[in-house]
Amino acid sequence: MQRCHRKNGEKAAKAAKAAKAATQAELSSALWRRAKATADAHRPLFARNLIRPSPLRFILILHHLVTVVTASSPIMSNLNVAAITERFGGYYNQVTSTKAGSAALAVFALYVIRKFFQRRKRIAARKAWSNPSREVAVITGGSGGIGMEVVKRLAAKGVKVAIFDLSPPKDSLLSKTVRFYKVDITDYDSVVEAGKSVESDLGPVTILVNNAGVANPGASILDFDPKKTKLTIDVNLLSHFYTLKVFLPHMIRHNHGHILSTASAGSFMMPAGGADYGATKAGLVALHETLQLELELLYQNRKGVLCSIAHPYWIRTPLLDTIFKPEALSKMIKPELVGERMVEQLLGGQGGSLYIPGWIGHLAWLRVLPHWLQHRIRIDATLDLQKSKHEARPNPPMP
């Protein structure tokens, strides 16, 4: 008898378990159908608001998602919009009960809003630069060094490239979409003629990389050669005005373009013996900042014309081996790294300052320090970098 009762009990338990599973399956199926029907009913709203997102539309979508979930599940039935509002309202009151909490909440809200609009801006900017094959780039000083690395990487992305230089690059670099133009960028008329040739051969220029640069290393202010210093200023600074005057108007008219200037860490701190070079690179910072202002104030709603400036650390070249100490040379970077970062900036749809490596950006804070401390840092940097001991000299001769 006991065995029979035990078997009957086991059968009843199994039957109850099976019935419960069937009920749960039926309930889940019903809940799924109900949730799907609710979602289908709200689908036009979701689609309409997801096409052009905004903070208000985001709140509406979140509200309807909560409605769908709470309406579709008995477990969530008590967690309705009113309950959620009441719960978070309590948290809100606790946070805002003090001035510090209110200030922190306001800062956080501004941060979220700023990030939201920054993301929208980045998405729109990437779309504008999503087809590199439509772009035409002019690279000054593109036959070697950083310029050549930029040319290689832009060409690999499908960009049509015009090289402005005095000497041609390697033949392997040239193709139907990579052209060389012998241009003296210190001569405005030469730049104008080359610009016309580029537009005829490749199309209107949408990317301008002012990269050409020369240096007169080791020459003190009183030892400089006037001709060499004039060439340094003409190439490193004045040529930027020429290329901007030739290529910027088309970018403004079509609200699409990117201008990238190659400056230097010397824009912020230059060792002794590099006054002319440092002056040109510091001048590029002023030019870059003023260009941004004029694009916004004089040519309003031209958000599609981007401006960037690159500040690379010293590039390792044989010319510097006789000037810098071995420890300083070992920290110098290769042109390949700079070229890669510059191309990412050009095609990423964002303008701004580019520091290579990132710690170069901290040099900009040097000028907020007291003058005596700035001077001491510059002296130490000069002695650390250069081989010359900067010994005392007799009185300089009169000119």
Decide which of 378 and 255 is more confident.
255
In the structure, what pLDDT confidence band is assigned to residue 158 with cuts at 50, 70 and 90? Answer: very high
Per CATH, the number for 131-385 is: 3.40.50.720
Position 106 scores a pLDDT of 75
In the structure, what pLDDT confidence band is assigned to residue 232 with cuts at 50, 70 and 90? Answer: very high
Position 358 scores a pLDDT of 82
Average pLDDT (82-91) is 58
CA nearest 135: which of 240, 249, 250?
250
Position 46 scores a pLDDT of 47
Percent of all residues in the chain with a pLDDT value above 90, rounded to a whole number: 35
Look at residue 121 and tell me whether its pLDDT is greater than 80.
Answer: no
3-state secondary structure of 57: helix
Position 35 scores a pLDDT of 54
Position 49 scores a pLDDT of 46
Position 38 scores a pLDDT of 57
277 is catalytic: yes
Look at residue 180 and tell me whether its pLDDT is greater than 90.
Answer: yes
Look at residue 369 and tell me whether its pLDDT is greater than 70.
Answer: yes
Mean pLDDT of the chain, nearest integer = 78
Give the burial class of 368: count Cβ atoms within 10 A of its Cβ; 0-12 exposed, 13-18 middle, 19 or more buried: exposed
Residues 327, 21: Cα–Cα separation, whole Å:
75
Look at residue 82 and tell me whether its pLDDT is greater than 60.
Answer: no
Longest Cα–Cα distance in the chain:
129
User: Residue 349: which region, alpha, beta or left (left: phi > 0; alpha: psi -120 to 50)?
Assistant: left
Those residues whose C-beta lies under 8 Å from the C-beta of residue 142, and which sit 6 or more positions away, are: 148, 150, 151, 161, 163, 164, 165, 169, 209, 211
In the structure, what pLDDT confidence band is assigned to residue 50 with cuts at 50, 70 and 90? Answer: very low
Average pLDDT (32-42) is 57
User: Residue 218: which region, alpha, beta or left (left: phi > 0; alpha: psi -120 to 50)?
Assistant: left
Domain ranges in the chain are 2-95, 103-128, 131-385
Average pLDDT (229-244) is 95
For residue 30, what are its two tokens? 């019903």
152 is catalytic: no
For residue 25, what are its two tokens? 């399956």
Q: What is the pLDDT of residues 274-305, one digit of tens each?
A: 888 889 999 999 999 999 999 988 987 678 89
**8 Å CB contact between 149 and 203:** no
Cα–Cα distances in Å, from 366 out to 70, 174, 332, 353, 369?
57, 43, 21, 17, 6
CA nearest 253: which of 301, 199, 201, 288?
301
Residues 233, 125: Cα–Cα separation, whole Å:
34
For residue 95, what are its two tokens? 């946070």
Position 274 scores a pLDDT of 80
Residue corresponding to tokens 């400056």: 263
The catalytic residue among 181, 242, 277, 313 is 277
Position 315 scores a pLDDT of 80
Average pLDDT (46-56) is 49
Look at residue 251 and tell me whether its pLDDT is greater than 80.
Answer: yes
Lay out the sheet containing 207-210: strands in order across.
178-182, 160-165, 136-140, 207-210, 257-262, 305-312, 352-356
Give the burial class of 94: count Cβ atoms within 10 A of its Cβ; 0-12 exposed, 13-18 middle, 19 or more buried: exposed
Look at residue 216 and tell me whether its pLDDT is greater than 50.
Answer: yes
Decide which of 69 and 95 is more confident.
95
Percent of all residues in the chain with a pLDDT value above 70, rounded to a whole number: 67
Q: What is the pLDDT of residues 385-394, one digit of tens each?
A: 655 555 666 7
Residues 81, 72: Cα–Cα separation, whole Å:
14
Position 321 scores a pLDDT of 64
CA nearest 210: which of 177, 170, 232, 242?
242
Q: What is the pLDDT of residues 306-359, one digit of tens each?
A: 999 999 988 876 556 666 667 777 778 888 999 999 999 999 888 888 998 888
Look at residue 399 and tell me whether its pLDDT is greater than 70.
Answer: yes
Look at residue 27 and tell me whether its pLDDT is greater than 60.
Answer: no
Position 57 scores a pLDDT of 56
The catalytic residue among 281, 303, 325, 334 is 281
Q: What is the pLDDT of residues 254-266, one digit of tens each?
A: 999 999 999 988 8
pTM of the entire predicted model? 0.69
**8 Å CB contact between 315 and 297:** no
In the structure, what pLDDT confidence band is assigned to residue 52 with cuts at 50, 70 and 90? Answer: very low
Look at residue 203 and tell me whether its pLDDT is greater than 60.
Answer: yes
